[in-house]
A = this chain, B = another copy of it.
Amino acid sequence: MTSTAIKFSFTQLATELERVRTNTPLVHVLTNEVVQCFTANTLLAVGASPAMVVAQEEVADFAALADAVLINIGTLYPERLAAMQAAIASANAAGTPWVLDPVAVGALRYRTEAAKAMLASRPAAIRGNGSEIIALAGGLGGGKGVDSTASSASAVDAALALARSTGAIVAVTGAIDYITSLTTIVGIAARRQCEQRQTLRRCAPAQNASGAGTAYAVALPRAPPLGEQEMVLDQEVRPDQR
């Protein structure tokens, strides 16, 4: 793949964030036990309205009311998985976009099977680290707990394959963050090195990305239908080019 530098306009980003702020999207969050408060704060900070509704008795009703649904399987167990499946089905029936964060997929079979089965319900977006995206795409992703043992760059082909097979926008977070649709892949290398020793560096920024991404997905069109598209561009933003 060839890499072409593009300039990223902060005005464009500001406009998109303003859309989120203006619409205050209601985000149905089904996430892991560790980051619930942080994800709620992140969504509030970008102007969304998060709500953690978890009972199988009410997730379907709430996913239909919501503007977006976040599914993060970090601390998955059977009752919560059943709630997630009900929320996804209801979101799809209502045309609500939903985002999948496949935490530690590849490292553990129970969650790997659960996440792969969710792909058939076509998430609007998927966010994972290198190991998770490779494993979700069917490869051997490795992974050490919730940490990646594969670079994000090494997961770009898997991300593109996953985008084509599911129709989702796929984001791979790492030293460089990659975001791909069916026709474009963009790399963002703006993450500061100091974050490498920051608390929650492995966990929270990722949740952060998927939490805020859920609000953002509200306004995004779904990826185009499967099958016909080709990769036409492989773009990458390098810090020194911005």
Contact = CB atoms under 8 A, between A and B. Distances in A.
A54 interface: yes
A65 B107 contact: yes
A235 interface: no
A77 interface: yes
Nearest to A77: B55
A51 B202 CA distance: 10
Can you tell how many copies of this chain the complex includes? 3
A102 B79 CA distance: 23
A191 interface: no
A121 to B, nearest CB: 20
B32 A34 contact: no
Contact of A37 (B37, B66, B202): B37
A50 B203 CA distance: 9
Interface stretch (A9-17, A38-46, A89-97, A175-183): A38-46
Contact of A44 (B26, B66, B77, B202): B202
A109 B58 CA distance: 7
A62 B144 contact: no
Interface string A45-85: 10001111111111001100110000000111111000100
Nearest to A26: B145
A230 to B, nearest CB: 38
A49 B145 contact: yes
Contacts of A57: 77-78, 110
B199 A51 contact: no
16 contacts: A34-B36, A34-B40, A35-B37, A37-B38, A37-B200, A40-B203, A41-B199, A49-B147, A49-B202, A52-B75, A53-B75, A53-B108, A55-B76, A55-B77, A57-B78, A62-B107
Given A28-B145, A55-B77, 20 more contacts: A26-B145, A32-B52, A33-B36, A34-B36, A44-B199, A44-B200, A45-B199, A49-B144, A49-B202, A50-B145, A50-B146, A55-B75, A57-B78, A58-B108, A58-B109, A61-B108, A62-B108, A65-B107, A65-B145, A77-B79
Interface of A: 26, 28, 32-38, 40-41, 44-45, 49-58, 61-62, 65-66, 74-79, 83, 104, 107-111, 144-147, 199-203
